[in-house]
Structure 1
């Protein structure tokens, strides 16, 4: 139950643009359709058991597919793949149209696995939690594949970015 004054969602968005976010594409196969979505909220939840989470908008087509899927794949993207990210961010595109434009194979659960992703986490549905206009989806990582060590794609200040040199470290005497 909220206490105190409320802030506008746009005000929160403006501040959160200062926080770099990983950019991934999540794919899944429901009963009637396979599809993917660009997700900017991936986080590691637990190492034992190995769990990851991300947020998905309740009104999205991806939410409906994930709700019927037992498995999904999280594709970590390289800094050179912003066009792939933009492709899976188009809201009204059908699943078949999304997948026709990319090279992929399906795993034993029918989940599309994108060939170009530098790393893929294959997950079994673990749990979901309602969180406002989104659900927090938690998956148990059952397989992972590291294909290359490309620099990751990030979203920061309304644009796609790359990781640059390490920040200066300062010792405190």
Structure 2
């Protein structure tokens, strides 16, 4: 008995997750992408991880930059999630349009997010058609007054 990609995706869609946009800056441009595969990895040292699809345009620039910021989205940021997930939008232009501030690591972060977690690239691990990106957390901040944006069964939800 073999598992079809659609069966696998449907099973995974039953796991509710927060929504993040990972931003980065390489030597010439800034970019970002929507990521739902984000997770904490270690408290000591402070490490996080996410999966990065190998065939997307931001794969190589993000890894080459050596640093990134995980923006945990608030319930009001569904449109941002969709924009950073779209293959039809230039993410560099989007970041410029949003007038993002730069974090301690020099990477743009999204205003209005629940949290931002600024990282240096610690390690990358092959994960089939993805690269598992492990980041060492250098700075973190959060806004406790906001509520999260959630993703479940291919739809957004707020709590």
Give the TM bin, normalised by the shorter chain.
over 0.9
- The equivalent position to 2:99 in structure 1, one of 98, 103, 107, is 103
Partner of 1:55: 51
How many Å apart are 1:27 and its aligned residue? 0.2
Contact 1:24 1:42 in 2 (8 A): yes
Q: Aligned pair 1:24/2:20, yes or no?
A: yes
Distance 1:46 1:32 in 2: 32
Q: In 2, Cα distance between the equivalents of 1:144 and 1:101?
A: 24
Provide the C-alpha distance between the structure 1 equivalents of 2:106 and 2:88, rounded to a whole number of angstroms: 22
Do structure 1's residue 77 and structure 2's residue 73 form an aligned pair?
yes
Of 65, 85, 92, the match for 1:89? 85
What residue in structure 1 maps to residue 63 of structure 2?
67
Q: Distance between the aligned counterparts of 2:118 and 2:109, measured in 1?
A: 9
Gaps of 5+ in 1: 164-173
Structure possessing the higher radius of gyration over alpha carbons: 1
For residues 78-157 of structure 1, what are the structure 2 equivalents within 5 Å?
A: 78-107=74-103, 109-157=105-153
Q: TM-score when scaled to structure 2?
A: 0.92
RMSD, aligned CA: 1.5
**Would the aligned equivalents of 1:56 and 1:136 in 2 still touch at CA under 8 Å?**
yes
**Which ranges of structure 2 fall in alignment gaps of 5 or more residues?**
none
- Report deviation, 1:108: 5.2
Q: 1:32: Cα distance to partner?
A: 2.5
TM-score, normalised via structure 1 length: 0.85
Structure 1 segments, 4+ long, off by >3 Å, are 107-110
